[in-house]
Amino acid sequence: MTRYLFVHAHPDDETLASGALLVALGSAGHECFVVTATRGERGEVVPGPFSQLAGTPGLTTIREGELAAAVAALGVAGHAMLGDGAARAPGLPSRRYTDSGMRWVTPTLAGPGDDAGPDALTAAAPDEVSGDIVALARHLGAQVLVSYADDGGYGHPDHVRCHEATRAAAGVMGRPFEVIVTDPDRPHDSWYVPDAQDLDRVVRAHHAYGTQFTVTGLDITHVGGQRQSMVLAAGLRRL
């Protein structure tokens, strides 16, 4: 049995990028924990009854609930918010890292926005972020730390920061660092496909995010209109 700590930037990332991994690893007898860095405060909202909450504290509360429902569906061993409780470096007061925001450079590639607030994840000192990850990993006894590839998957600055901070934390602890691979044609060391009976858990986790995207069968449509298939198999690559 291996104990993994997955480090993600926003609510829904654990499901979109690694839902299949979390379910498959858990079914194989491993323990998977998830820590989320921000609450997706600046994320867009799908048209509908919650769209008026965009950018308000009410949206944050809803997304916290969506996240809780998703990790429950995925069956992870535990979840934490970065900067709080065991996910905060010893001796420091709890804090909230907030969504840094982004802009679309191309229809599929994001880049930094120009208006991240002072509490944004990307505004925090890198050592502070990695120190919080180290604190949680030590508390959990995590043996492998996992996050995005160095491009953050699609360029979001918070994803890139999570990659950098998690890699640094793994270095401090002398623990392996692995990145999530969702394209089977890209280099990977291991590949995981949940059993058919477990795929329902991945689908249910996607359905938890009613404010984030629309689910149609095994496809999702993002607020910006980008349509993609759910990631139903994924791999890990050790750096």
Q: Provide the 3-class DSSP secondary structure of residue 231.
A: coil
- Give the DSSP letter of residue 120: B
Sign of CA dihedral 64, 19, 23, 122: negative
pLDDT tens digits for range 42-84:
878 888 888 787 778 888 899 999 999 999 999 999 999 999 9
Strands (DSSP E) along 73-132, which ranges?
Answer: 78-81, 103-104, 110-111
State the pTM of this model: 0.94
pLDDT tens digits for range 116-136:
778 999 999 999 999 999 999
Checking 28-31 for CB contacts under 8 A at 24+ apart, the result is: 28/192, 29/1, 30/1, 30/2, 30/3, 30/4, 31/1, 31/2, 31/3, 31/4, 31/77
Q: Hey, what domains does the chain have and what are their CATH numbers?
A: 3-238 (3.40.50.10320)
Tokens encoding 28: 């194989």
181 touches 239 (CB < 8 A): no
Question: From the CB of residue 123, how many other CB atoms can be counted at a distance below 10 Å?
Answer: 13
